[in-house]
Structure 1
């Protein structure tokens, strides 16, 4: 033992070796600092640590970003719908809230906050999810959100082949049965869609419309949803365009709500003039999701790109009047070709199962190129209230399907232009059907006489000589 201890170097020798190594390390560090730029040093060190972590770690990470190749990432969307169903005891935080202002006792709904970790088990695999968020200002100033999925390296192929299809199938079932819908509006400052809960009560059972027209619209919508293979077979984008036109107050917005409630589609309400350019319009429209309604209301008023080009060229005064619709003199605005390109050009194929609805009070102002099939496939005239429409409104507002006054009212409606909105306003005056109907008959007679006087004819007289 004493001989072994005698062979060990002395403390002085060890200190001398340490000093020499330290001096050499300091010399090398100084040389590296002088010869290699600081950014290059950081890059080399980061690559070294990444290599070391990959070699030593047994985990593999999937990144699912919110955007994918200029479009919304459908994988992100299905994960976002799926994960709230996997919230369990191991979840370290929750985002909760309620959208029932009239019923505060309803339990709050659960969602996934940023940096929340969720553990999922699938076929013996342990999977850890995390939602992350960073600020991205590369093209548009907006929040960039993405999911991180961590699993064992050996489970990577199983996750791709069986776990992700399981998520997609589960999420599709959830989205088809979603209880609430959202309506989105575009925030130009943040360059992103802002949403709120959509709870419009209109359905095809409640709107005042001719039964044959209502049945046609419902069958057309159902046929569109069921014909994915047909659209792919004929080489067309899976979308459908509707034009709702007619006087104000004839129920265009209510029909949009009924379509959304019928299909269970979210609504994206777009003001075309909010887009600064064609590129901005493409970014806005490709940010919408599949299985949704893109609504462009009053397209004849929002921007000059929808107007008949011949009329715009002939009427310079109209052109000058529309110039203030531009956002600023520095913004080129949306061109007519830019709008058409998204409706049925190459960009129209960016997304599936979409309904595009235009509304206008003046169809004659629209450029004919907008009106052709492929852009506005179905033109629906929303006219004045008919006898059938009145009966539907009476059943909805008064709870009656027939009354002795109905014959008089229907005769007056045949010769009077009154909108469904005006009829609904009159029927809401009281809960007593008889009083409401008598008041409504007086309203119709006054309105008919006003129209008669405007037309230059004498007012219609009753047998007793009084105005009818």
Structure 2
């Protein structure tokens, strides 16, 4: 046995000496050329071909890498994928365990009787002297090994199958995230300007308190958008849609956005315009959003000073900026109205697919009409005061009252006063939550509050009739909005009528 180890040590010494001799005699260029031709010779006689799928493609995240990662994750527990070592992870607020391949490990997958090998490759990135943005320390990717005779089949049907499966998993099972843009456009270690948190909002269209007909119309519009990819391609339109949610505070605009995300299974990107310095930074943020997402700008009339250009009170050179200050021409460190319009409807808005843009505002009449036209905001949704249907939904959500639990007299009383009360879902919810342990008292106090508001509104109406100059400014603003060639006349009129709280 001792002689065996001695012989092995001698052999290793000879090999090391030969390696040193080759490195000293032959230049690196010659060694590289020989290695290159040997690899080509090996590939010529090999029955396999290899494809690399890196995590980062240039400056953008490779969507195919994410799809493969998610596909292998979902299939790890099935018999079609085999691996001796798996990583198990669970996020802080996640309810599911995630299976991933270990670093530099491989697994087999079978698709339509064709077997392929996936290898998860992880290497350390070489230190760079200069980089325009932070890069991850590790370089990740997948290597796909297939037989040459199956190459055409795999590159078409199999990769399409992976993409479709991953999209379906994202829609149904994967935890959704709420993203917000980093302050000043700062990027994390992976070069992403968005900071994610798990999205666990419980709002759904079933619990959303609003008119049932309007709710059904929105759900059908969302479903039609998701299922009509071929229509958008055929007509040459970008696969995106815009929604404007407007109405008084507390009418459920944020809950509507959460219900849309839960209904479609989309992530939400909450864009804080006050943290964006320029139009170019705004475009970069858009490029870093994923498909199947909702991009939200809440209270857009408060985020930046986007005044209605038809408003005579606006002076020339009015500031239209978020982080910096400047006019609509833009000075490189400001957000301009044209930059925001290009963000929602320009060429850069087409860098991705299946996106929904949602703007919210409490005062639609303050927005520039260029933001409201079709193509930017395709559907205007007025989130108004509670209706009779809304009250019944809230009574069911907070008190558990189903149809028929309340007496006909109580329901008729609600139906009589709810429209005149002009009460928001937030106000109704607060009243019900406060008395949720005593259902009868909650209903009784809600009726008392509604009647008090009816009386207050009637008194305000009498005061308005006695003072002719009381509402002159509102009437002038209403006339300017209704005379505008932009938008829907009935929607603007409805917004102006309902945006005041008495």
The unaligned stretches of length 5 or more in structure 2 are 1-20, 465-502
Contact in 2 for aligned 1:86/1:120 (Cα 8 Å): no
CA distance in 1 between counterparts of 2:106 and 2:371 reads 48
- Structure-to-structure mapping, 1:33-182, within 5 angstroms: 49-50=35-36, 52-56=38-42, 60-68=49-57, 72-87=61-76, 90-100=83-93, 109-112=97-100, 115-122=103-110, 123=113, 125-130=115-120, 132=122, 134=125, 138-143=131-136, 146-151=140-145, 154=148, 156-157=151-152, 159-178=154-173, 180-182=175-177
CA distance in 1 between counterparts of 2:248 and 2:373 reads 21
Contact in 1 for aligned 2:261/2:294 (Cα 8 Å): yes
What CA RMSD, in Å, does the superposition of the two structures yield over aligned residues? 3.6
CA displacement, residues 67-98 of structure 1 (integer Å, 9 cap, x when unaligned): 55765533123112102134376354514114
Residues 1:228 and 1:128: Cα distance change in structure 2 (over 3 Å): closer
SS in structure 1 of the partner of residue 179 of structure 2 = strand
- Structure-to-structure mapping, 1:285-324, within 5 angstroms: 285-304=286-305, 306-309=306-309, 311=311, 314-315=314-315, 319=319
- Structure-to-structure mapping, 1:221-232, within 5 angstroms: 221-232=222-233
Q: How many residues align?
A: 417
Residue 357 of structure 1: aligned partner: 358
The alignment's TM-score, normalised by the length of structure 2, stands at 0.72
Residue 439 of structure 1: aligned partner: 445
Farther off after superposition, 117-126 or 386-395 = 117-126
CA distance in 1 between counterparts of 2:243 and 2:387 reads 22
The alignment's TM-score, normalised by the length of structure 1, stands at 0.77
CA distance in 2 between counterparts of 1:231 and 1:317 reads 38
Residue 390 of structure 2: aligned partner: 389
TM-superposed deviation, 1:171? 2.1
CA distance in 1 between counterparts of 2:57 and 2:221 reads 32
CA distance in 1 between counterparts of 2:313 and 2:213 reads 40
Q: Does 1:409 align with 2:402?
A: no
CA distance in 1 between counterparts of 2:322 and 2:179 reads 25
TM-superposed deviation, 1:397? 1.4
TM-superposed deviation, 1:249? 0.5
Farther off after superposition, 68-77 or 173-182 = 68-77
CA distance in 2 between counterparts of 1:200 and 1:249 reads 17
Contact in 2 for aligned 1:237/1:352 (Cα 8 Å): yes
Q: Does 1:183 align with 2:178?
A: yes
CA distance in 2 between counterparts of 1:116 and 1:300 reads 51
TM-superposed deviation, 1:215? 1.3
TM-superposed deviation, 1:250? 0.3
TM-superposed deviation, 1:167? 1.9
